[in-house]
Structure 1
Amino acid sequence: MSHHQVFTASNERRQSGRWSIEGEAEVMVIAGERLGEMTTLRLTDAGDHGLGGWSRRPMPSGQPVTVGFAERGKPGRCGVIARCVPLENGWQLGIRLQSRLAA
């Protein structure tokens, strides 16, 4: 039996609807001990203020990140990991988006 650590933000409260999306994004930690750590996020859903997807690596809640989208012309965003739930084959991440990255 493997032991998985579940990371969840106690203050995560969705305030808008969500919709299904496809694609990939690169998520990079921008502060703290894990500075520079990256993972590819396979996008599954999005809303006005956040997005969700599948990752091979866990990222703890509260971790500030940048999100770079593979889709050409879509600006990168800053955000915070809102949740990280273990799955059989990886991790379900939820990211609360904050702002666009400067060009």
Structure 2
Amino acid sequence: MTTQDHQGAVEAADGQTLAAAAGGLTYPVAPGYRVKVRKGPGTDYPVVRQLAEGATIQIRCQQYGEKVSGPYGTSDIWDNIAPGQYISDTYVRTGSSGMVAQRCTS
């Protein structure tokens, strides 16, 4: 069973959001946060942009980096959402405290 929200995303019965257009798995960013996207997996990397409140992201791969705390706990997992663009997994509702995507190779 799935439901569709006003933004065209489809949510599966298990709570994971599926991108309606691309058919790929996407995850919601924590409500009420404008998350900084960084050039690498840590807060010492420069900010390249900021996600809008209510954004959903597609995780390309994940890697370990700086341990940070966010609305979904404390973790050293960082999500790569585009080439050279990372956000802390603690701001993404993946439904897991571990990795949900392949490990980044570089």
Q: Do both share a fold (TM > 0.5)? A: no
Higher strand fraction (1 or 2): 1
* TM-score bin (small chain): under 0.3
